[in-house]
Structure 1
Amino acid sequence: MAVDLLNAWILKLSTSLRALPAVLRLATITGAGVASVAVPNAQAQSPEVREYQIKAAFIYNFIKFVDWPRDALPEGSETINICALRDDPFADALESIKGKTVKSRRVAVRRIEPGRDLETCQVVFIGSSEGKRLPRVIESLQGLNVLTVGEMDRFVELGGIINFFVQNNRVRFEINVNSAERAGLKLSSQLLSLAKVVRQ
């Protein structure tokens, strides 16, 4: 049943980018079943902004299927911090999930400077503008229990964990399971079954 619900969620979120204006409410998985995440003012948004809204909803759901070590997400902590670079336009899209609850914690969105305050993040989004600096960014995250999410060629090959890509006008994602293990993160087999899995 859980796998069926997860498949339905992925199918909904992977709706053709050409049809994004119709995706006004994105299916998300909760412990009780299927809920929804609103995509505000979708009709007035550019395709790029709508794509970012969908990716933000993906990230919100990824968190539900990732387990962090207790030290990285201690019992009693009130927030899960999703971080993006201060000048990355994706940070604006993350505002759509700010304050929502996941793993009994509120989602907080932080805008950070490159290479700074990474230890305060549970999730770090690395946009395509950081392509040239990606090896340095990944290196700066070594030893931290951080879920890295990107949207560029060779992101997972260079050590990132989850990467978005567009295939046949649909948003897809790939996962480097070895990078997740090195970060001390446990990914649900249900999530892995819906991703392109990379091992290196």
Structure 2
Amino acid sequence: MSRLVRMALLVLVTSGWTATTQLYSADEYAVKAGFLFRFVEFVTWPDTLETGGVCRIAVDDPGGRAVSTIAEVLNGKTAAGRLIEVVSMERAGSHEEVHILFVTRDAAPLSRETRDDLLRRNVLLVGETVEFARSQGVIGLTVRNDMPRLQINLEHAKRAGLVVSAKLSGVADIVRPRS
């Protein structure tokens, strides 16, 4: 990982961040890992994720590049008093043990049934396609003009029993579900 990316992650992870943090295409997933770290801090789960427990982040990544980069950056880190563990979707096992599912642009779209099941299980669904938050998940983390863009679907968050802090929703575009 380049020195520049490490410095960007250090700033992102240890200080406040804004939606204007610049992404570097070669290390895009390292920067997105920093956002996933912050989501652990700025989203409140019901009793399914206790302080002092493990926050399991599953990455749906058919190519494997994203999961290895995100795991390298986040495994063993602690956010909001929770140890972070990153696994591939294949290794995640039961959805009951997943707190965040990051769906890469190379992954197949979630079926409505899968989405509904994950939301019932209080899983924060994060994806990187333009319409992800509107059609499938809670947070869309996309890149436009080399800048990260956050989209948050508060209705999907509510269905999942999740509370998104004002700090996070204040830097995002709020979207509504597709009818």
Amino acid at match of 1:181: K
Equivalent in 79, 85, 94 of residue 60 of structure 2: 85
Structure 2: unaligned runs, 5 residues or longer: 17-23
Equivalent in 156, 159, 163 of residue 182 of structure 1: 159
Task: Please name the residue that 1:166 is paired with.
Answer: 143
Given that 2:155 and 2:176 are in contact with CA atoms closer than 8 Å, whether structure 1 keeps it comes out as yes
Given that 1:85 and 1:114 are in contact with CA atoms closer than 8 Å, whether structure 2 keeps it comes out as no
Taking the aligned partners of 1:129 and 1:178, their CA distance within structure 2 comes to 25
In the TM superposition, what whole-angstrom CA distance separates every residue of 1:24-74 from its partner, at most 9, and x where no partner exists? Answer: 3222466xxx39xxxxxxxxxxx644011100111101111111001x113
Superposition TM-score, scaled by structure 2 size:
0.80
Range with greater deviation from structure 2 (176-185 or 148-157): 148-157
1:93-112 to structure 2, matched below 5 A, reads 93-95=69-71, 96-112=73-89
Superposition TM-score, scaled by structure 1 size:
0.72
More strand by share: 1
Name the CA shift for 1:74/1:133 in 2 (closer, same or farther; >3 Å). closer
In the TM superposition, what whole-angstrom CA distance separates every residue of 1:103-145 from its partner, at most 9, and x where no partner exists? Answer: 2121111222299521101111111122444545423414110
What SS does the corresponding residue of 1:153 show, helix, strand or coil? coil
Size of the alignment, in residue pairs? 166
Name the CA shift for 1:153/1:100 in 2 (closer, same or farther; >3 Å). same
Q: CA deviation at 1:22?
A: 3.4
The Cα RMSD (Å) is 2.7
More helix by share: 2
Amino acid at match of 1:84: V
Q: CA deviation at 1:75?
A: 5.2
Percentage of pairs with the same residue: 30
Given that 1:175 and 1:192 are in contact with CA atoms closer than 8 Å, whether structure 2 keeps it comes out as yes
Task: Say which one has the larger Rg.
Answer: 1
Structure 1: unaligned runs, 5 residues or longer: 1-19, 36-46
Amino acid at match of 2:100: V
Task: Please name the residue that 1:155 is paired with.
Answer: 132
1:195 aligns with 2:168: no
1:22 aligns with 2:4: yes
Range with greater deviation from structure 2 (126-135 or 103-112): 126-135
